[in-house]
Amino acid sequence: MIEFALSALIGLFFAVSIYLILSKAIIRMLLGITILGNGVNLLIFTLGRITREVPPIVPDGLLQPATTTANPLPQALILTAIVIGFALFTFLLVLGYRAYQELDADNTDNMRLAEPENAPRPPLSY
Amino acid sequence: MKTVIFRTIAPVLVAIMVVFSVFVLLRGHNEPGGGFIGGLIAASAVALYGIAVGVEEVRKALRVDPLAIAGFGVLLSSLSGLVSIAYQVPFLTGLWTIFHFENTEIAVSSPMFFDIGVYFAVLGTLAAVALALEEDEDQK
Amino acid sequence: MATTEETQAIMESLPPAMLEKATAAADWVIILPVAIALVCGALLLMLRNSRGTQAVFAALSVIAILVCEVDLFIRVLETGPQAMTMGNWLPPFGISFTVDMIGVLFAIGASFVTLVVIIYFQAEIVAREVRNGFYSLIMLLLAGVTGAFMTGDLFNLYVWFEVMLIASFGLLIIGGRKMQLDAAIKYGFLNFLATTFFLIGLGYLYGMLGTLNMADISLTAPNAPVGPITAVAALFLLAFGMKAAAFPVNAWLPASYHTPDPAISALFGGLLTKVGAYALLRTLLLLLPGSREVLDPVITGIAVFTLILAPLGALAQTNLRRAVGFLVIGGIGAVFAGLAVPSLRGVAGGTFYAFHSMLTMTALYLVAGLVERMTQATDTRFMGGVYQFNSPVSIMFILLVFAAAGLPPFLGFWPKLLIVEAGLGMQDWLIVSAVLINSLLTSIAGTRLWAHIFWRSGREGDEAEVFNDRLRPLTVIENRASLTAAVSLVAVIMVLGLWPNLIFESVRIAASDLLQPERYVSATGLEVTP
């Protein structure tokens, strides 16, 4: 039954994150991306089948686990995804902060340096 | 943040955190812990010290660039995978030797060096990020 | 404690999990390209602030990687795909590196392009820290790209995507101009979002099939329910389409590629989008071919729109490198066209086009960088008279435009020929006409750029007839490093265009291995069940 609760929670995470990513403020988009990452981690966790079992560790003196154990792979995947997501989050955070300082903009509408707003008309010759 | 109390207590706190991070790193093979979480604790120690005494002091105390520490970590991890070329097994195969010292067994393995590499990579990267963010605070 | 007999009995009742036979040292060429790139990148990161000849070290490492990859290429050509599973585990438990023809061909292209860009970069006048940061990041980028081309595990592919993403972030903001910050934010957010979509698809696929090994997926996917697995394929299409900058999710590319140093633009133009294209070919053809058929109308639509709209974007641009960025997107359209007509010829054409685009787009950016240095402008309206001033550069530019447009006998002609033949064979007139219109529009956009930059005597406006007097000749080092690098890359493109037999043979093998996964699966070490 816990799967239903977790699915609802994942849906909520996705909804919140999409709402935040659609915002114009960089810091909100950043929060949205982080929540999306957490939603995905929860998704992988749920998809790996939730069982109330013991950790997948083979006891001393045995060659295979004594009872059914939890699936270790989703946890490994999630840990990797958390590490990578965390690294990218810190990078984007520093980037956003620098942009706030140097461009004086937290609003993506004001960030038009790379793509000027009043771009020149295409050349008419030839 | 540079209050007298914080500045006095910070070195002690940082020392404890660094020792604890090494403990967490080394117990990580069979119990909860490991290179990533150890590196996080060590990096938070660096960040804490930066808040207490300022970024310049931390850079002096670290002696090397944090990103160089991260590079060392990646290097150590890759090399620990490459060791297995000599044993005719694929990349990243766990290799173990056990030393006997008095009555203690000391297990040395390539996964351990891999984990130490992860520790340094995480420590270096996060310390670099934390110091970069704190540096801006200092300039204000 | 179990007795010896009990232990024996348990051991025999379990299926084998570990590899028994020894791994020959020669098999290490499978992992060495990635390992060398990682070790070298890490070393360069450690020595970032020291003096010394880091460029030579980086170049030598790339040459070592190239040697490994050529050896691997010959082995794949002779005996078929090669595989190594990490940590001595048996597949599908361990992470496999499975190298087939498409992977090794793209990896060779990537390393070669990186080598050229390192040589080209020698003439850039930048601070030492920037220069050294460039080399370490470029090696990490190469590690990510090569790993993505060679891995045989879907989650590992995600990890290499992220390695590549982090390295490219660093390269994009190196130098730290305000425009680069702006571009890096857009590039960063959209690409991070794309990889998150990939991760969502990955999670669903694991939930359904319980495996992440590509060979294992290609075996188990046909038994899975069509609806959910097609949803996964659609997520992959969205994620890799974003990575490859296909219409309508291409916005990040023209917003960012023109901001960093030209050498870095060239590297991005050659490598990043091609990894997305490669992942599309891999997932939609090898892993989930059934879902590709369901998604066929979408893929055709994307291909047609990308092929036609991208060169129109290039026509409308006045910024030289942004215009080239639109030409890069047009090339991705051709790869999608190959995906939309998945006969042996069509897939071979798409693969060939991606390989061609890797070389040609890098060369176009390198030449654009030379032009920017000579004219000291980024806007084509303020350029002019370069033909009179430096004819070798102008000849290279026009040759590359023809190659990109796909006119015979240049490199871009052969893949488009294959795609058109495949389209005619399948009576897919939409794809055929879109490819041909793309060639026409790309030639118009490219020749128009050429006319503005090289043919016209002066700047746009009243001075158009007056010879442009603000041109600066290339310095000795620029001639020696940058021009040489660009000329040698263009020469390779020309030679491959005139003698394309080897590439034809390779992409034919690559396409047949993508369409019939038996060789790929058995190389990984799994049983092929009929």
Look at residue B31 and tell me whether its pLDDT is greater than 90. Answer: no
Task: For CA atoms C248, C228, C158, C195, give the dihedral sign.
Answer: positive
- CB of C379 within 8 Å of a chain A CB? The answer is yes
Asked if the Cβ–Cβ distance from B74 to C41 is below 8 Å, we say: yes
User: What total of structural domains would you count in chain B?
Assistant: 1
Asked if the Cβ–Cβ distance from C203 to A91 is below 8 Å, we say: no
- Angular region, C384: left φ>0, alpha ψ -120 to 50, beta rest: left
pLDDT of residue C37: 94
Evaluate whether residue A14 is within a structural domain. yes
Q: How confident is the model at residue B97 (pLDDT cuts 50, 70, 90)?
A: confident
CATH of the domain at A85: 1.10.287
| Interface list for A 78-107 with C (CB within 8 A) | 80-81, 84, 87-88, 91-92, 95-96, 98-99, 102-103
d(Cα A100, Cα C184) in Å, to the nearest integer?
13
Look at residue B58 and tell me whether its pLDDT is greater than 80. Answer: yes
DSSP H helices in chain B: 4-26, 35-53, 55-62, 66-82, 110-139
Q: Which of C2, C200, C259 sits opposite A114 (nearest CB)?
A: C259
Q: What is the mean pLDDT of residues B61-78?
A: 90
Evaluate whether residue A119 is within a structural domain. no
Q: What is the mean pLDDT of residues A77-104?
A: 87
At C370, which helix (H) or strand (E)? helix C344-375
d(Cα B26, Cα B14) in Å, to the nearest integer?
19
Q: Kindly identify which residue of chain B lies nearest to residue C34, measuring between CA atoms.
A: B78
d(Cα C31, Cα B85) in Å, to the nearest integer?
11
Evaluate whether residue A86 is within a structural domain. yes
Residue C366 has which token pair?
């390198």
d(Cα A29, Cα A33) in Å, to the nearest integer?
6
pLDDT of residue C129: 66
Q: Considering all CA atoms of chain C, what is the largest pairwise distance in Å, rounded to the nearest integer?
A: 97
Asked if the Cβ–Cβ distance from A113 to C178 is below 8 Å, we say: yes
Q: Kindly identify which residue of chain C lies nearest to residue A61, measuring between CA atoms.
A: C1
Could you list the residue range(s) of the whole structural domain that residue B127 is in? 4-139
C373 three-class SS: helix
User: What total of structural domains would you count in chain A?
Assistant: 1
Q: Which residue has the higher pLDDT, B128 or A118?
A: B128
pLDDT of residue C387: 84
pLDDT of residue C361: 94
Look at residue A14 and tell me whether its pLDDT is greater than 70. Answer: yes
Could you list the residue range(s) of the whole structural domain that residue A106 is in? 2-56+68-113
Asked if the Cβ–Cβ distance from C204 to A47 is below 8 Å, we say: yes
Residue C347 CB-density burial (10 A; 0-12 exposed, 13-18 middle, 19+ buried): buried
ipTM: 0.93
Look at residue A52 and tell me whether its pLDDT is greater than 80. Answer: no
pLDDT of residue C447: 92
Q: Which of C162, C182, C195 to mutate to test the interface with A (most CBs of A within 10 A)?
A: C182
List of chain B residues whose C-beta atoms are within 8 Å of the C-beta of residue A101:
136
d(Cα C384, Cα C253) in Å, to the nearest integer?
26
Mean per-residue pLDDT pooled into runs of 10, chain C (530 residues): 63 67 76 92 84 83 95 92 84 86 94 94 75 86 95 93 92 84 90 94 91 90 90 94 91 90 91 93 91 92 95 90 93 93 92 94 94 87 83 92 90 93 92 94 92 83 75 82 92 93 93 91 76
Q: Which of C178, C207, C318 sits opposite A47 (nearest CB)?
A: C207
Q: Please report, for residues B8, B89, B95, C89, the alpha-carbon distance to residue C20 in angstroms, rounded to integers and kept in the order given.
A: 58, 9, 15, 9
Q: Which residue has the higher pLDDT, B97 or C218?
A: C218
Q: What is this structure's pTM? A: 0.93
User: What one-letter code names the amino acid at C95?
Assistant: I
d(Cα C207, Cα C429) in Å, to the nearest integer?
39
Evaluate whether residue A62 is within a structural domain. no
pLDDT of residue C318: 86
pLDDT of residue C528: 67
Q: Which of B36, B40, B118, B131 to mutate to test the interface with A (most CBs of A within 10 A)?
A: B36
- Segments making up each domain of chain C, as ranges: 295-498
Provide DSSP, C418-438: HHHHHHHHTT-HHHHHHHHHH
Question: Which residue, C335, C329, C321, C161, is CA-closest to C248?
Answer: C329
d(Cα C70, Cα C502) in Å, to the nearest integer?
13
pLDDT of residue C1: 44
pLDDT of residue C162: 93
Q: How confident is the model at residue B25 (pLDDT cuts 50, 70, 90)?
A: very high
Asked if the Cβ–Cβ distance from A94 to B129 is below 8 Å, we say: yes
Tell whether omega for the bond before C248 is within 30 degrees of 0, i.e. cis.
yes
Residue B108 CB-density burial (10 A; 0-12 exposed, 13-18 middle, 19+ buried): exposed
Between B and C, how many CB-CB pairs are < 8 A? 71
Evaluate whether residue A124 is within a structural domain. no
Residue C397 has which token pair?
């530019």
Q: Please report, for residues B89, B98, B112, B119, the alpha-carbon distance to residue B95 in angstroms, rounded to integers and kept in the order given.
A: 10, 10, 10, 19
